[in-house]
Copies of this chain bind each other. A is one copy, B any other.
């Protein structure tokens, strides 16, 4: 019997048996499923969803609200907006799926949510190049290394980086159709990398749909802690999808999608326009920030 079930509502033994009989009938309806994994998942879906509606003693009006919520989420979803991913995100289900599929391996860098703003075919930059592509925000220099769990460099690892501008929007959220705030590069023969980008800005997830209404109903903020996305791939290594965050960002403890992990929070230093940049780049009188992200890739489980 799930925790909390029937705590405060009197349900007769006859009624409990009737409800349990229905659960068993639904479970048996999946007995003939040819694929054993599909069968196990559908029977688990049945057990957990029936336990949910029985525990809360769901009313018919609440059931209608749930149907309407899912319908609205479906209707706002299109090629540029994915409300079901947002829903999974704000319920922590995206992070839980990532946790399940990226179990901690020794000192490998931790993963976090992929998010809906990655796009294929980002520009390729040389090491030390600029991913911002003219997007607005404070300049930032990011450098680091890519090594394996034994400390050996991973030369040539492909590093994708993408981020919002200082208005809190990604390029794909702007109407101009441009590509900026994203690029990929390859680590050098020592596994080292460096690039210029933007100091991260916090922003809200899209909150003009049913997920936004849900967050308001539960008095939760739609804001994400400021972050810079990374995806790091190299043949023979587990693909790493992660972010880096900003130390002391007040949103770290209240990230709307539960994406923050302590190991991913980085110190950033801030520098006046007059200070010389690490690689001598001329920022034309702009101040700049700087941080370091040392990446550890886990072995690809499928190749062990």
**Could you list which residues of chain A lie within 8 angstroms of chain B, going by C-beta atoms?**
2-4, 11-12, 14-15, 18-19, 22-23, 25-26, 29-30, 32-35, 38-42, 44-60, 62-63, 67, 70-71, 73-75, 77, 82, 84-85, 88, 91-101, 103-104, 214, 217-220, 258
Within the complex, which residue of B3, B41, B46 is in contact with A62, where a contact is CB–CB below 8 Å?
B41
Other A-B contacts than A2-B2, A38-B217, 12 sampled, CB-CB below 8 A, are A22-B96, A22-B258, A30-B218, A32-B220, A45-B91, A60-B98, A63-B94, A70-B70, A71-B82, A71-B84, A73-B74, A75-B75
Residues on B with C-beta less than 8 A from A98 are 60
Complex Cα spacing A178 to B258, Å: 52
Complex Cα spacing A84 to B72, Å: 11
Shortest CB–CB separation between residue A299 and chain B, in angstroms? 17
Complex Cα spacing A60 to B59, Å: 33
Complex Cα spacing A45 to B101, Å: 22
- What is the chain B residue whose CB lies nearest that of A55? B44
Complex Cα spacing A293 to B265, Å: 68
Complex Cα spacing A273 to B55, Å: 53
Residues on B with C-beta less than 8 A from A54 are 96, 100
**B41 contacts A56, CB within 8 Å?**
yes
Residues on B with C-beta less than 8 A from A258 are 22, 25-26, 29
Residues on B with C-beta less than 8 A from A44 are 4, 52, 55-56
**B34 contacts A91, CB within 8 Å?**
no
Residues on B with C-beta less than 8 A from A47 are 2-3
Shortest CB–CB separation between residue A166 and chain B, in angstroms? 27
Complex Cα spacing A60 to B98, Å: 7
Q: A53-B100, A70-B74, A104-B14 are in contact. Are A48 and B48 (CB under 8 A)?
A: yes
- What is the chain B residue whose CB lies nearest that of A218? B33
Residues on B with C-beta less than 8 A from A77 are 71, 74-75
23 contacts between A and B (CB under 8 A): A2-B47, A2-B48, A3-B47, A14-B104, A15-B99, A26-B91, A33-B217, A34-B219, A38-B218, A40-B56, A42-B214, A45-B52, A48-B51, A48-B55, A60-B97, A60-B98, A60-B101, A67-B85, A67-B88, A70-B73, A70-B84, A73-B74, A74-B75
Residues on B with C-beta less than 8 A from A71 are 74, 77, 82, 84
Residues on B with C-beta less than 8 A from A34 are 219
Residues on B with C-beta less than 8 A from A75 are 74-75, 77
Residues on B with C-beta less than 8 A from A91 are 26, 45-46, 49
**A104 contacts B15, CB within 8 Å?**
yes
- What is the chain B residue whose CB lies nearest that of A100? B57
